[in-house]
């Protein structure tokens, strides 16, 4: 396992549509393992394969104890609207308000090619799932964001309150 370089805003790969995964096994597992190492090193919540230079429909999410690996994900249902402040490992130093669904149902495959479904109305999980899914379609949060500004660290924000 290894750390991979996170592609930064301006890199063309971030604006391209990822290709579906057709083969499950060695190279996919290596990519996923490297993505986990990279995400944890960067202390992020989610990471899509295009962000590490792999144009494949793969993303991972880690929220607390819960981890998710989604291969060839599809948003099949969504409802409601929530707005949250988002940031991105590929766009360091920026944040903005983005409207996302209040609940989602997403179908995907796991690292072995087995199908599963995530249904959730957890605001943070919905936000991260949709943010990472956008990456697979070449969409960056800046394209949907309002009130884009320099990122405020949570610790700084808490000191101000």
**Residues 44-49: contacts with CB within 8 Å, 24+ apart?**
44/89, 45/124, 45/128, 46/128, 46/129, 46/131, 46/132, 47/6, 47/89, 47/132, 48/18, 48/132, 48/135, 48/136, 49/18, 49/136
Cα–Cα distance between 59 and 38 in angstroms, integer?
12
Residues 92 and 149 sit within 8 Å (Cβ to Cβ): no
Kindly name the residue from 107, 132, 143, 160 that is annotated as catalytic: 132
Distances (CA, A) of 33 to 36, 116, 152: 5, 20, 30
Q: Does the annotation mark 86 as catalytic?
A: no
Enumerate the active-site residues. 132
């Amino acid at each position: 396992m290894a750390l991979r370089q996170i592609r930064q805003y301006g890199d063309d790969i971030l604006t391209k549509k990822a290709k579906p995964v057709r083969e499950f096994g060695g190279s996919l597992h290596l990519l996923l393992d490297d993505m986990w190492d990279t995400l944890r090193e960067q202390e992020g919540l989610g990471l899509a394969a295009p962000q590490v230079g792999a144009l494949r429909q793969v993303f991972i999410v880690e929220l607390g104890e819960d981890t998710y690996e989604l291969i060839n994900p599809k948003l099949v249902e969504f409802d409601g609207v929530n707005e949250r402040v988002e940031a991105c490992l590929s766009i360091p130093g920026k944040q903005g308000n983005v409207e996302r669904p209040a609940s989602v149902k997403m179908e995907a495959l796991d690292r072995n090619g087995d199908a599963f479904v995530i249904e959730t109305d957890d605001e943070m999980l919905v936000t991260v799932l949709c943010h990472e899914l956008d990456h697979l379609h070449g969409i960056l949060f800046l394209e949907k964001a309002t009130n884009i500004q320099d990122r405020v660290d949570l610790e700084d924000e808490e000191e101000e309150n």
